[in-house]
Amino acid sequence: MQGYFTTRGLALSAKLAAGSVLTISRVVAGSGQTQTAATALSGPCQTLAVNSPTHSGNTAAIPATLTAAGASGSYTLTELGVYAVDPDDGEILYKIYRLSKPVDITAGSSMVLRFYLEETVSQDLDVDVTCSPAGLITEEIFSPVEKMVQCKTTSGRHVYLDAADLQAFLDGLPRMMTDYLTITLTGATDIPVSLAGFYGPGVIVLEAENLGDCIIRNQVVAERCSIQLWLHNLQLEAPADLGEEPALVIFRQCGYARVQSCQLTGNDVCRGIRGEGGSLVFVEDCTGGHFKIMVLVNYSSVVTVKCAAAEDFHDNDQGIYVWSGGIVLLAGYSSETLGGTYNTKSGGLITKVAGTLL
């Protein structure tokens, strides 16, 4: 397919050389043989969807897509007319691209033709497309998304952050995770941590290299996450104003979460770890104390608590509270009340380390 400047297009190209922006306003499919002196395509049949151009050296490629389903009637495609905006004269027929061989377009058929209209430009010339792509997504545009959706394995990624920068970093992540992302934290922060809406085959690990390297003096709340979440070696402290109802660590509608080797410190009023909405949580080798309730679970959630020593949880008012289908499984050397004086069951289950019901 060869391109020809129209008379007015040649005049515009001179202006472009002087620094004007090439603004493409529309691309039209035609069935005629338009002369270069014409001001409009002689046989316009259909307007194409146009996407933003790509650049390679001094060449700009303008992607244009013809869908036969969008044609108002059948026709024989012979040429494409590119319309552009002249800074002095408004919209003009800028260039004509003639097909080497005509193509029959049957209206309503599934035929899709993709054209790359190349323009040789100076390195400093900007090309702008103001026409709409008409909601079309081409295979090349969709390909990166398709690869993410069909991803079956995860690749590793490791970042190091100051704790104060964690939430801003999490907010900037795509919700679909395909990486095994390890975030190593240092320093202290009063900013609450929220992990919401992550899905896919990926994993997010929030860790410190050593216990005490990272202190989060606020809540950690994960909700609606189907990816794996892992908190490791973190020092979590309840702020003084955290009330009776909230918990320091909450998992709500989460597929699988692991809290390992973390130190949890309450304010004698708030709750410790809460699982709800069908969450699966594994708490391993953690310590915690000074909570109104250490672990509370409801709505078909399951929390397993595995302690290295019976005294790992201490100075709690109530150890476990299960209701509305909540289940707590004790393992390792966990005490039966997790450092509290009693447990509460209201439509839930608690199992001893030996596997019998408590």
Strand partners, 307: 332
Q: How far apart are CA 119 and CA 344, in angstroms?
A: 74
Distances (CA, A) of 147 to 114, 135, 144, 152, 227: 22, 21, 5, 9, 17
Hunting for tokens 């919700």 — which residue is that? 175
pLDDT at 191: 97
Task: Please enumerate in sequence order all residues whose Cβ is within 8 A of that of 343, keeping only pairs 6 or more positions apart, or say none.
Answer: 318, 319, 320, 321, 322, 336, 337, 350, 358
- Compute the distance between CA of residue 223 and CA of residue 355 in angstroms, rounded to an integer: 29
**Of 207, 209, 203, 210, which Cα lies nearest the Cα of 220?**
207
DSSP string, 294-306: EEEEETT-EEEEE
**pLDDT recorded at residue 238:** 98
Going from the C-alpha of 220 to that of each of 21, 96, 192, 217, 234, the distances in angstroms are 50, 60, 6, 9, 11
Q: Give the per-residue pLDDT at 124.
A: 55
β-bridge partners, 228: 203, 256
Which pTM does this prediction carry? 0.65
- Digit-by-digit pLDDT tens for the chain (358 residues) are 889 999 999 999 888 877 767 888 999 999 999 999 999 999 999 999 888 787 777 778 888 999 999 899 999 999 999 999 998 999 999 999 999 999 999 999 999 999 998 877 555 556 666 655 555 555 555 555 556 556 556 679 999 999 999 999 999 999 999 999 999 999 999 999 999 999 999 999 999 999 999 999 999 999 999 999 999 999 999 999 999 889 999 999 999 999 999 999 999 999 999 999 999 999 999 999 999 999 999 999 999 999 999 999 999 999 999 999 999 999 999 999 999 999 999 999 999 999 999 9
pLDDT of residue 335: 97
For residue 16, the model assigns a pLDDT of: 80
- DSSP letter, residue 200: S
Q: What is the pLDDT of residue 140?
A: 54
What's the pLDDT score for residue 147?
A: 61
Coil/strand/helix, residue 148: helix
| Boundaries of every domain in the chain | 2-145, 151-351
